[in-house]
Every structure is written in structure tokens, then in C-alpha cells.
Amino acid sequence: MVVKKMLLISLLAVAMLAPQLFAGDIDLAKKSTLETIQQRKSLKVGLDSGYQPFEMVDKKGRVIGFDIDIAKELARAMGVKLEIVNTDFDGIIPALLTEKFDVILSGMTITQKRNLQINFADPYIVVGQAIILSKELEGKIHSYKDLNDPKYTVASRLGTTGEMAVKRMIPRATYKSFDKEADGAMDVVNGQADAFVYDLAFNVVFMAQHGKGKAVLLDKPFTYEALGIGIRKGDPDFLNFLNHFLRQIKADGRYDRIYSKWIENTDWFQNIQ
């Protein structure tokens, strides 16, 4: 009898608390950035348009790039128009926190330090170290592992994650350092080095400018440096929406088309300033 009484009291307590908990969930949902976007009928995206090929200005003065195409798909999924808020990268997190825009979509690497200030959706691209390869080695070298031999000369910039990656992951290769990344990449084009290791984004731009027909880009990063969409903390509904959006575009082919357009292809370079 005592057990039944205690069980009844517990059930009554849960029943009394349930409306309060449900109301709390409703209040949280109403405060979500999703609600603000829907009511405003526009998605405000903060970015710094100086990181090729993610965001840059074309000859007509428009901001274009990988991140812009992702942002367009996001706005389309929400049924709202897209507004770009160009912001200096150094102040982009404070601008998000003071609600100058709804999200950061600006080639931002997910780091623990940044994650203390803001939340990130799941990574939408990994832009770690990639390889610019001598044209003569096309079809012979397929990954960084194939370069791990003293007969290959591998270059990178002094004091960078590229240099660290070579020394850690391709230790047997003959290493050649440069003060400037462009000089190291040109060494491959000029036939003085077999490969150049550096950030994927730089390598894409270099290939568009100088490497077409003269070198090969192995565009699959072999280190992990993930980029993510940044939002303000305390917004689980918006975070849920963004993660499902990213899964959807990666599953239905839209993401692959955007990746091919900006990362695998360099035709876009002729249209930028």
C-alpha cells in the first residue's frame, strides 16, 4: 500500500511538472534564431570576403564562393532571402554575439577556443593540408604516403602546419622549406620540387593562377582542419536545423555540385577581381 501511494505521488508530481517543462520548451523555441529569421524573412550571414575560394568579390562587385553557395541553399531551405553582412574577420565573433547577423559562414576553422564563445554546426568541409604535385608524377603519386621516400623532394612554408605535416607524416622525403608559400608552390611548377604541401584553399587558388597544365592538385586533405557554421550559444533548435540541412545537401547531390564548382574546378578564377 505504501509503495502504491509513493508511486501515485510520483506520477502526480510528474503530471504537475509536465506543463511547466513543456512551456519551457516552447519559450526556448520562440527565442530561437530560427523564429527571428522566419519573422524577418531573411537570413543574415556574416563573412569576410577575402578567403578564396570560400568568399571573394567578382568583377561585378558581387560576393561569390563556396560559402556563398552553401548560404544560398540554406536560405532557400528556410524559404527566406539571403543577406550578406561583410565583416572584418577579427571582429566577426563579437559581431555575431551582438546579433549583427544570424550565422558566421566565413571559412572559419572549428577550434576549442572559438567553441568556448560560440557553437558550431557539424563541419561542412575539411580544408587541411593538400598537395600540389609535379605534372610528371601524375598517376604515380596518389597520396602523401607515396611521397614518403628520399628520392622525392617535398616543399612547404617554414614554420607552418604544412611543414609540420611533412615532417610528421612524410619524414623520409627530402624536405625543402620556403619563407613564402607561393615560392614553394612555384618550385613544383618549375620542376625544382616534386610536391608542395599546404592548406587546400591556398593550393586551389595557386593552381587557378599558375598551375593549370603545369602541376596536379591532390585535393583530398590528409590532415584534419574542419570548417563550421558558427551560431550563438543556447539555441538547440537552430543547431538541429543546421545539422539536418548539412546532412540533406550532402545526401542529395547539392553539396557535391558546390564542391566540384569551387574546389575541383578553377574556372571561377577568371571572374574574380
Question: What are the DSSP calls for 1-64, one per residue?
Answer: -HHHHHHHHHHHHHHHHHHHHHHHHHHHHHTSHHHHHHHHTEEEEEE-S-BTTTBEEBTTS-EE
The single-letter DSSP state of residue 209 is: I
**How many degrees, rounded to 5, is the angle at CA 52 between CA 171 and CA 193?**
30
| Span 94-114, pLDDT tens digits | 999 999 999 999 999 998 999
Give residue 52's pLDDT.
Answer: 86
How confident is the model over 171-202, as pLDDT tens digits? 999 999 999 999 999 999 999 999 999 999 89
pLDDT tens, residue by residue, 9-46? 665 665 665 565 444 555 656 679 999 999 999 999 99
Confidence (pLDDT) at 19: 64
User: What integer is the mean pLDDT of 201-207?
Assistant: 91
- pTM of this prediction? 0.78
Which residues touch 272 (CB under 8 Å, ≥6 apart)?
Answer: 52, 56, 57, 58, 59, 64
Which structural domains are found in the chain, ordered by start?
Answer: 33-126+225-271 (3.40.190.10), 129-218 (3.40.190.10)
pLDDT of residue 21: 46
All residues at 6 or more sequence positions from 226 whose CB lies less than 8 Å from its CB, including other chains: 109, 110, 123, 125, 126, 127
